[in-house]
Amino acid sequence: MTKRVAFLGTGIMGAPMAANLIDAGFTVAVWNRTAAKTEPLAAKGARVAADPAVCVEEADYILSILDNGPVVRAVFFESGAHERMMPGSIFIDMASIPPGMAREHAARLAERDVFHLDAPVSGGSKGAAEGSLAIMAGGVRPAFDRATADGVWQPMGRASWMGEAGSGQIAKLANQIMVACNIASVAQGLLFAKLGGAEPAQIPPALAGGHADSRVLQEHGLRMIARDFRPGAPIRNFVKDLDTVLATAGEIGLPQLPVVQQVRDIFKALADQGLERFDHSAFLLHLEQLNAPARLGDGPDTPPD
């Protein structure tokens, strides 16, 4: 029997993820606050719902990737959508939200006999389009295993079970720590290479397979060289995640993360300059401001659409 999926949030990440589920043969209903963003999915056969509560009705799986925790709470709980979920269904929240909020949502849904998996992702819009996202899932193991058996994860990427409710969010925050520090180091290394006389475009292939290699270098490094700052992951969301990292670190007895704090402050300064929609590879712009007239790449900047 074809499984029915409700997908809420069809923006930069959600639209290609939902499209991949449709292509994999799932029956998909979609909702988005800006209805026009659902039109390409409707053309692929998705049912467009007027509101979240209608979207989740009769769905075996409810997936969402929304901006932040308060939006998740508003869309699923304040709207009453959680009351329309079928008993035994599985809610897979792929937004990046605080771990404590994920545990709270899991407890509220358990009262209605609905399973909850917090399953944030890494890989950006490119990974969403390719179906190659890293998916970090927390929650009851049988729900994760059922989603695996039903083939829900595979069209979107590679899923790993991280532990009980909230642990998917913890894993995502660990990911964001590593990504933040890596983006900062890649930007500094590439600008250093350019000013020192090495060809920046040769750095990613030259370092491939070495200890300095990373997906950040191979993807975001090329974005920096091309000066393409259209968002795969916008700065505003990255600041939100790093704020959650620092708050959670304090809660678990890790109050000092000095490098993360400094990188977060730089991203916040860029957001305050009006660059909140730029991709987080725009960390490069901060370095160039500090070291003017140093500049990486000869072409003009490509800002968000």
Render 169-237 in DSSP notation, one character per residue: HHHHHHHHHHHHHHHHHHHHHHHHHHHHT--GGGHHHHHTTSTT--HIIIIIHHHHHHTB---SSBHHH
**Short-list 20, 17, 14, CA closest to 34:** 14
Give Cα 91 to chain centroid, integer Å.
Answer: 17
Contacts with 194 (C-beta within 8 Å, 6 or more apart), sequence order: 200, 294, 295, 296
Known catalytic residue at 268? no
Q: Look at residue 26 and give its three-state secondary structure.
A: coil
In the set 3, 44, 126, 172, the catalytic residue is: 172
Contact 250, 207 (CB under 8 A): no
Q: What is the DSSP letter of 117?
A: E
Tell me the catalytic residues: 172
